[in-house]
Amino acid sequence: MTLISGPVHEIDQAAGLGVAIAQFAPGADKGANLAAITRLAERAASRGASIVVFPEYSSYFSDPFGDGFLENAEPLDGPFVTALGSLAARLRIHVVAGMIETTEAGERFSNAVVAVSPTGELVASYRKLHLYDAFGSRESDFVEPGVIEAPETFAVGSFTVGLQTCYDIRFPEVSRRLVDAGADLVLVPAEWVRGVLKEHHWRTLVTARALENTIYVAAADHTPPIGVGASLVVDPMGVTIASLAENEDVAVAWIDRGRVDEVRRVNPALALRRFGTREL
């Protein structure tokens, strides 16, 4: 493993912001999961990325769901987030990943996403709002849904970044609330289960969220045999500017705040809308 330390790069506003999607297949070995995250984050940083987004359940995953999830849940100040913070600080990048988080009741866990900064600080967290009770699955049997509250965002360069998770992408209002909170880049860790037409759904929904909100969306999935892979970054005009196939890998897209502004000038859909979003 090639180790990278110290400032790897500075954000070059002229070149744009490097956003990496990193896909792998998390398993029940938490040490192996962290090793994969480290390996892929180093690859992303070496290619100039300022942010790298990993899949949902990056800290621990097994199929089918079982007691192992609850046993391996951690608080946000636990070993997993601490390790991500150390990695982000060493590589001088933002690291975003899904994890299983302990809850106060302790009967179910939260399906959380965390973002850590180049200083190693936890700068945002998100708990999945819409649980995957579809296509024969019952995520709600194990997972406590997130509380609807003001979205947490964080700044990277000239971008405001928001978070959401997997099945949330089927609910347009989740992304729209993030945009109303100022986000122009949305990161989507996912465990998009394979199935009939599922890869088509994945690409279509990620593209739609970018296109209708005139934002960038970067979505990272598990690789097969459970996930579809096919991680991608889509620009505000709905163009895929980076994508992966089915193998463990990293892809970096260079995104430009000026592209958001220009697309919104040509397609002022956000300014022309007659409906807002609010908590119900």
What is the CATH number for 130? 3.60.110.10
The average pLDDT across 137-144 equals 95
Coil, strand or helix: which one is 205?
helix
Average model confidence (pLDDT) across the chain: 94
Question: Judging by beta carbons within 10 Å of its beta carbon (0-12, 13-18, 19+), is residue 267 exposed, middle or buried?
Answer: middle
Counting the structural domains of the chain, the total is 1
6 within domain boundaries: no
47 within domain boundaries: yes
Flag whether pLDDT at 277 surpasses 90.
no
Instruction: Enter the DSSP assignment of 150.
Output: P
| Residue the block writes with tokens 């995104």 | 255
Coil, strand or helix: which one is 87?
helix
Contact 186, 152 (CB under 8 A): no
Give the pLDDT band (50/70/90) at residue 14: low
- Of 120, 124, 82, 127, nearest to 100 (Cα)? 127
* Per-residue model confidence as pLDDT tens digits over 171-225: 999 999 999 999 999 999 999 999 999 999 999 999 999 999 999 999 999 999 9
* Per-residue model confidence as pLDDT tens digits over 15-70: 699 999 999 999 999 999 999 999 999 999 999 999 999 999 999 999 988 889 99
2 within domain boundaries: no
Q: How far apart are CA 20 and CA 219, in angstroms?
A: 10
Q: How far apart are CA 153 and CA 235, in angstroms?
A: 19
In our burial notation (b when 16+ CB lie closer than 10 A, e otherwise), range 25-36 reads bbbeebeebbeb
Domain residue limits at 250: 17-271
Which residues are designated catalytic? 56, 128, 166
Amino acid, res. 183: A
Q: How far apart are CA 131 and CA 276, in angstroms?
A: 24
Q: What tokens were used for 40?
A: 């892929």
